[in-house]
Amino acid sequence: MLKPIDKRFQVSPFLVFYIITSVQVGVGVLGFQPFILEAGHDGWVAILLAALMVHGIIWIMYKLIRNGKGDLIDIHQQAFGTWLGNLLSIGVMLYFIITAITVLRSYIEVVQVWIFPDLATWSFALPFIMLTYYVVMGGFRTVVGISFFSIILPAYLALTFLFPLKFARWENLGPFFDVGLQSLFSASLKMTLSYLGFSVLLVFHPYVKGGMNTQKWAQLGTLTTTLFYVLIEIVTIIYYSPGQIKIVTWPTLGLWKTAELPFVERFEFIGISTWLLVVLPNITIFLWAASRIGKRVVGFKQKYFLVIILIIVFIGCNYFEKRESISQLSDNVGTIGKYYNFVYIPLLFIIHSISVKVRKSK
């Protein structure tokens, strides 16, 4: 059973808002629009439906936390026993690692395509991994601090989506709700891939003061992410034609190209560079959670386990070089994450609830 975390290492409840928001807003923001193309001009509705599912899963996770009185490792052990529970926790750890590889490699690809075509993958991945080691070894409070600044500092980018409005074709938004329910639901399932990452809540929750009172901040973080996605989707619909959106790989970067400022000619360069502050907490949170699970399950010190994980991430980033392999990696990780978050977690809640009731009856 997890020992209570010393209050010196815990963070304030409101910081859950920044943690949840930072793991949901990542490199996927740069190109999520084509994934919900089947919803057409009602894509923003698909985003809202996906958000409702995410809000529901967060509610389930807090039920799990209350019943389990611990983190994910404790919940697994209570539901499945020590050996099988630890094995499942290791599976979640591997999922966090492969997700970190996907996020980092996808961001490097954007840098290579838009800014530095001759940039070697390893030359970017290595210093980034060293920075990640420094942040994670600073402890959970340092990781949360990075998450806080990843929301505050790049917030000015929201204003840049006003520039495409001078080319807006508002008629693209109508007619409303003429897309079939099946298409909307299918698009919403694909949109949930952009929200993946919030499940780290089951790992970091003991490091937050306030217990169950933090749920409002987690839900508010998801709501903020949803409004941000809806804003970008609406601007995308009124700026691009339906034919253009089918062939554009990173529509959000195309929106930034409309920004005209007297002191910078290519604003998308500024946006991509600033987005590094958004990607960093994504990866640090995932790798902190992965190394934390490794420490709890295997018994190694977290810093040793982190080194092993970072070596795996570095090798993984250099393994995927072609656009096709990177896209396939993203699709596979997205599928795994969809089943983990929206199938496995509710199933875990049911099994854990039954096991708790059986123990109480005995």
Q: Please write the tens of the pLDDT for every residue from 144-187.
A: 999 999 899 888 888 888 888 888 888 878 777 777 778 888 88
Residue bearing the bigger pLDDT, 64 or 357: 64
Residue 361 lies in a domain: no
Instruction: Give residue 269's pLDDT.
Output: 85
Residue 269 falls within a domain, yes or no? yes
- Looking at residue 362, its pLDDT comes to 66
Instruction: Give the C-alpha separation, 201 to 349, whole Å.
Output: 15
In this structure, how many other beta carbons lie within 10 angstroms of the beta carbon of residue 246? 10
Q: Count each helix (H run) and each strand (E run) in the chain, helices first.
A: 16, 0
Query: pLDDT (tens digit, 9 = 90+) per residue, 209-243?
Result: 887 789 999 999 999 999 999 999 999 988 888 77
Query: 37 lies in which domain range?
Result: 7-352
Tokens matching residue 106: 């996808």
Q: Which long-range contacts (CB under 8 A, 24 or more apart) does 298-303 make?
A: 303/137
Residue 358 lies in a domain: no
Q: In angstroms, how far is CA 347 from the centroid of its own chain?
A: 21
Q: What is the tally of structural domains in the chain? A: 1
Average pLDDT, the chain: 88
Residue 165 domain-assigned? Answer: yes
Nearest to 172 by CA among 250, 239, 229, 249: 239
Determine, yes or no, domain membership for 360: no
Domain annotation covers residue 259:
yes
Residue with tokens 């991430």: 313
User: Is pLDDT above 90 for 194?
Assistant: no
265-269 — which CB contacts under 8 Å span 24+ positions?
267/160, 268/114, 269/114, 269/115
275-317 pLDDT, tens digit per residue, is 899 999 999 999 999 999 999 998 888 888 899 999 999 999 9
The neighbour count for residue 328, using CB atoms within 10 Å, is: 12
Choice between 223 and 196, residue whose per-residue pLDDT is larger: 223
List the one residue out of 354, 338, 361 whose CA is nearest residue 79.
Answer: 354
* pLDDT tens string 42-81: 888 889 999 999 999 999 999 999 887 788 999 999 989 8
Please report where in the chains the tokens 């090798």 appear, as a residue.
315
Which CATH number does the domain housing residue 314 bear? 1.20.1740.10
- 254-286 pLDDT, tens digit per residue, is 888 887 777 777 788 888 888 899 999 999 999
